[in-house]
Amino acid sequence: MFDILVTGGAGYIGSHTCVALLEAGFSVVIADDLSNSKFEAVSRIRSITGNKVTFYPYDITDEIELERIFTRHAIRCVVHFAGKKAVGESVEMPLEYYRTNLLSTISLSRVMKRHGVKNIVFSSSATVYGNSKKVPYSEKSPTGNCTNPYAWTKWMNEQILSDVVRSDPDWSVVILRYFNPVGAHTSGKIGEDPLGLPNNLFPYLTQVAVGKLEQLPIYGSDYPTKDGTGIRDYIHVMDLAEGHVSAVRKCLRDFGVQIYNLGSGKGHSVFEVIHAFEEATARKIPYVICPRREGDVSASYASTKKAAEELHWKSRRTLADMCTDAWRWQESNPQGYC
């Protein structure tokens, strides 16, 4: 029996992916320094799945701590989520972002190499498509031209891992470019728990609905889209989690670098999301139109063809499911994990 190491497994996407991996029969070890998450998420993964998950509260930029994990466990594959992810913060603290997001991948890959572990699934982002205008984005769309340090760290990590494969073709690297993960596990036990004021649309929306925030700012109603608001590809976090199960299987089977978009392939405007949320939850969402947010593109959505053909994976859940599940999590955990 071998283990899958999930770095950042106590975080939003990591916790849902651990549930999906455990339910698919994999054995999971989590390494997370809890810098942006709480141990309670790990307890809830255990309670949803009834599975024992080993947890290490380690900083994965530290090779000595990683060594302990690789010495104790027969790791066959790593799913690497750990890192910093706030775009605005990355503009204010670029060195912290480059340090954590690059050093984590470098330390991890060095320790993996020492232990002969050559399979890794990496969390990248649609943000690597930068301000390239032509949607839908396919994996062959141009990357680079990134608009902030966070996005550059994703782009550079893709390069680092591709170079590792070039140096040793026995490695298997699966790079997943996520679009906009939202929603929560249907149990309402795990979900997104941002620190402070949410940056993203869904957590802001649910915090307005629960009465923690007064009104939703809509960043721009003058985009060249159907109703003037920005269009994004929202994907249910459990669909995304199941995409990782397919990616791990692919990673264990193949060699080389494979890159996949994980999105729904559908674009929804901010107004469409608000209306879907109001319908799914029977709550009214007060909003105010604000100027555009710097760095935002008008529309971003995925071509999902490659993931469907090669990972045999497609998102199944609807925008209504995303709203219902995000709301169930928020309503049953108004203060998040505490």
Q: Write down the H helix ranges in 93-141.
A: 94-114
Our finding on whether 132 is near ligand UDP (CB under 6 A) is no
Cα distance between residue 6 and residue 45, in whole Å: 13
Our finding on whether 270 is near ligand UDP (CB under 6 A) is yes
Written in H, E and C, the secondary structure of 1-59 is: CCEEEEECCCCHHHHHHHHHHHHCCCEEEEECCCCCCCHHHHHHHHHHHCCCCEEECCC
Binding-site member from 29, 45, 59, 90 for ligand NAD (CB under 6 A): 59
Q: Work out what residue 55 binds among ligand NAD, ligand UDP, none; the CB cut-off runs from 5 to 8 Å by kind.
A: none
Judged by CB under 6 A, the stretch of 54-62, 73-81, 215-223, 314-322 that binds ligand UDP is: 215-223
Our finding on whether 199 is near ligand UDP (CB under 6 A) is yes
Judged by CB under 6 A, the stretch of 36-44, 106-114, 195-203, 256-264 that binds ligand UDP is: 195-203
Nearest to 120 by CA among 252, 27, 10, 30: 252
Binding-site member from 46, 113, 293, 314 for ligand UDP (CB under 6 A): 293
Instruction: Please count the helices (runs of H) and the strands (runs of E) in the chain.
Output: 11, 14
Nearest to 4 by CA among 12, 115, 25, 16: 25
Both tokens of 155, joined, read 């782009």
Cα distance between residue 120 and residue 128, in whole Å: 19
Cβ proximity to ligand UDP, 279 vs 294, nearer residue? 294
Cβ 282 to ligand NAD, closest distance in Å? 27
Q: Work out what residue 61 binds among ligand NAD, ligand UDP, none; the CB cut-off runs from 5 to 8 Å by kind.
A: ligand NAD
Task: Decide if 204 contacts 272 (C-beta within 8 A).
Answer: no
Taking only Cα atoms into account, the Rg of the chain, rounded to an integer number of angstroms, comes to: 19
Residues designated catalytic: 150
Question: Closest residue to ligand UDP, Cβ-based?
Answer: 230
Our finding on whether 266 is near ligand UDP (CB under 6 A) is no
Cα distance between residue 86 and residue 82, in whole Å: 13
Our finding on whether 83 is near ligand NAD (CB under 6 A) is yes
Return the bridge partners of 300, or none: 232
- Which of the residues 109 through 138 are near ligand NAD (CB under 6 A)? 123, 125
Site string for ligand NAD, 4-43 (x = CB under 6 A): ---xx-xxxxx----------------xxxxxxx------
Nearest to 59 by CA among 121, 8, 110: 8
Q: Work out what residue 218 binds among ligand NAD, ligand UDP, none; the CB cut-off runs from 5 to 8 Å by kind.
A: ligand UDP
Task: Decide if 302 contacts 125 (C-beta within 8 A).
Answer: no
Cβ 43 to ligand UDP, closest distance in Å? 28
Q: Work out what residue 239 binds among ligand UDP, ligand NAD, none; the CB cut-off runs from 5 to 8 Å by kind.
A: none
- Which of the residues 154 through 213 are near ligand NAD (CB under 6 A)? 178, 181
Task: Decide if 239 contacts 13 (C-beta within 8 A).
Answer: no
Q: Work out what residue 204 binds among ligand UDP, ligand NAD, none; the CB cut-off runs from 5 to 8 Å by kind.
A: ligand UDP
Contacts of 38 (CB under 8 A, 6+ apart): 10, 193, 336, 337, 338
Q: Sign of the CA dihedral 21, 320, 276, 220?
A: positive
Residue 16, CA atoms < 13 Å, CB-side half-sphere? 26
Our finding on whether 150 is near ligand UDP (CB under 6 A) is no
Element (H, E) at 216: strand 216-219
Q: Work out what residue 203 binds among ligand UDP, ligand NAD, none; the CB cut-off runs from 5 to 8 Å by kind.
A: none
Residues making contact with ligand UDP (CB under 6 A):
180, 199-201, 204, 216-219, 230, 232, 270, 293, 296
Which residues of this chain interact with ligand NAD, rule CB under 6 A? 7-8, 10-14, 31-37, 59-61, 81-83, 85, 100, 104, 123, 125, 178, 181
